[in-house]
Amino acid sequence: MDISVVVPLYNEDESLPELVTWIDKVMNEHNFSYEIVLVDDGSTDKSWSVITQLKETFAGVKAIKFRRNYGKSAALNVAFEVTQGDVIITMDADLQDSPDEIPELYRRIKEENYDIISGWKKKRYDPITKTIPTKLFNAATRKMSGIQLNDFNCGLKAYRSDVVKTIEVYGEMHRYIPVIAKWAGFTKIGEQVVEHRARKYGTTKFGMSRFINGFLDLLSIFFVGKFGKRPMHFFGSLGVLSFVVGIIMALYIMIEKKILIWNSLPYRDSTDQPLFYLALVAIVVGSQMFLAGFIAELVGRNATERNRYLIEKEII
């Protein structure tokens, strides 16, 4: 099969018929063999009824329905497990992504051997309350990941099949799939300017909670990707640094006091100096961080995936 189109959706009953018809038209025009995987993320409208009707009309439609709203990441992760196409295209169900972009995305994956092609909605029709947080997210993610994409959160992306079969998407991690893929060893990531269409039906699902959760997930990806298999390198390093700084401050206080006493000069008790308490806090925090790293290392050594590595090719 050439292409699997993955469409996560939540309360999009009005747009689904037009979207599926449009995808089918594009696929037939380019003679692609395809499937459309629709994931109903606990919709409360008539989305599932519409999907069952579309299934009767379009043989390539597959559908998954969640009992409740789990989020876009969960929808994508479940869909990735059942896809059968050589190239997987993800797109939103609100008709803001154009299916006409699919042939070029497919071509670049197949002919230019990219692992991922991420869409870039250079000209957007979103309100400023959404575009400004998006720009901040993109800038922070570029800085922390080293991946030079302008629009990490664009729903329109293309993947080689082995990318989506390897990675796991959870929480709010869908916006950082290129980062997850890079940590998994898929480093050929490209970008393509795509059309951003004005919303035709429904309302946006974006909210401030997603802004906060997205930032926390970015920190989580960065930490797990870099120190997931060696937590002692992070906690141990900070713990030792804090402990050493605390010891140096404590030694300074004691030596200063001894010198003042030796020269019969007035001095203060160590406990009367603010530096004493800073040294004490640094020593305690350093010890705790070192122990945290040690415990995390023990847990990691007993984890079932401690030696799980991603093998691309093998000759036996």
pLDDT band at 26 (very low <50, low <70, confident <90, very high): very high
pTM of the model as a whole:
0.73
Q: How far apart are CA 69 and CA 60, in angstroms?
A: 25
For the segment 48-58, the average pLDDT, to the nearest whole number, is 94
**Buried b or exposed e, range 156-195, using 16+ CB within 10 angstroms:** bbbbbbebbebbebeebbbbbbbbbbbbbebeebbbbebe
User: CA–CA separation, 116 vs 157, rounded Å?
Assistant: 7
* Three-class DSSP category at 184: coil
pLDDT, tens digit, for every residue of 253-295?
888 888 888 888 888 887 788 888 999 999 999 999 888 888 8
Quote the percentage of the chain above a pLDDT of 90.
Answer: 51
Token pair of 188 as six digits: 């050929």
Query: What's the pLDDT score for residue 137?
Result: 77
Place 307 in a pLDDT band, splitting at 50, 70 and 90: very low
Structure tokens at 164: 């989506």
Phi then psi dihedrals of residue 187, to 5 deg = -100, -10
Residue 37: beta bridge partners? 6, 62
**Fold that domain 3-227 belongs to in CATH:** Spore Coat Polysaccharide Biosynthesis Protein SpsA; Chain A (3.90.550)
Largest CA distance in the chain: 98
Q: Any idea what DSSP says for residue 186?
A: -
Within 8 A by CB and 6+ apart from 219, the residues are none
Query: Is 50 exceeded by the pLDDT of residue 194?
Result: yes
Reduced to 3 states (helix: H, G, I; strand: E, B; else coil), residue 174 is helix
Contact 276, 210 (CB under 8 A): no
